[in-house]
Amino acid sequence: MFTMSKFWEKVFYALSFIFQGSSYLSPYGYGAMHRLHHAHADTERDPHSPKYDDNIWKMMWKTKTVYNDILYKKVKLEEKYLKDLPHWPWLEKIADNWASRLGWSAFYIGFYVIFATEWWMFLLLPIHFVMGPFHGAIINWFAHKIGYVNFKVKDTSKNFLPLDFLMLGESYHNNHHKFGGRANFGYRWFEIDPVYPFIKLFNALRIIRLRKSANPTTAF
């Protein structure tokens, strides 16, 4: 839906590492896997589909395996799934390993030790440790199972939350499967995508360049 310069690509790659920390997912690995998901949603080639796994844990395990196979080039994907994806092997080496994940986790624990004022706050720590997969599981499982549909599509995608500020707009998943290249994931008047204003801001600041096709039909 947009392009950016190699410089900004590197900036956002590094920011992914800093903000995802212990649950870092490679933009390269996730990008290729996500293209597979769109191309083959709810078929046997879909990396994660609730239709093919009995429970959320099995689906997440399969997702992890496919993701690692792509990132470490154990599978050969057609060029169309890899084309133009950002790739920074040097950063992957630092970010995608257990020393880094444990280091970030220790940092989060240290932060809580210094700043938490009640004991129960420590119960939130596990969510910090696995924030990436936690978010992925909610969208990839529930937004293909529960919710309402704006558009008839070939897959099981649903709009999981009608007012989605928790998943930052990603749970308008049926809209997203219908218009994969559309920057605004919301479609109906009440579907407010909280990330869209930032995409527009980055576009205005020339950090990214939105494609014309990123904004098809806005009325419902």
Shortest reach from residue 30's CB to Zn ion, in Å: 10
Please give the structure tokens belonging to residue 61: 């395990």
Q: Compute φ and ψ for 47, nearest 5 degrees.
A: -65, -25
Shortest reach from residue 142's CB to Zn ion, in Å: 11
Closer to Zn ion by CB, 2 or 108: give it.
2
Chain residue whose CB lies nearest Zn ion? 157
Piece of 17-25, 55-63, 116-124, 149-157 that binds Zn ion (CB under 5 A): 149-157
Closer to Zn ion by CB, 12 or 108: give it.
12
Closer to Zn ion by CB, 22 or 171: give it.
171
Shortest reach from residue 116's CB to Zn ion, in Å: 36
Rounded Cα–Cα distance for residues 217 and 138 (Å): 28
Shortest reach from residue 46's CB to Zn ion, in Å: 8
Yes or no: say if 178 and 151 are a contact pair by the CB < 8 Å rule. yes
SS3 state at 87: coil
Number of residues that bind Zn ion (CB under 5 A): 1
Binders in 98-117 for Zn ion, by CB under 5 A:
none
Yes or no: say if 162 and 189 are a contact pair by the CB < 8 Å rule. no
Residues 22-41 as x/- pattern, contact with Zn ion by CB under 5 A: --------------------
Shortest reach from residue 193's CB to Zn ion, in Å: 13
Closer to Zn ion by CB, 105 or 171: give it.
171
Q: What contacts 122, CB < 8 A, 6 or more positions away?
A: 112, 116
User: What is the 3-class SS of 38-66, one letter each residue?
Assistant: HHCCCCCCCCCCCCCCCCHHHHHHHHHHH
Closer to Zn ion by CB, 76 or 154: give it.
154
Residues 150-169 as x/- pattern, contact with Zn ion by CB under 5 A: -------x------------
Closer to Zn ion by CB, 4 or 39: give it.
39
Shortest reach from residue 170's CB to Zn ion, in Å: 8
User: Using CB under 5 A as the criterion, which residues of the chain lie in contact with Zn ion when the complex forms?
Assistant: 157
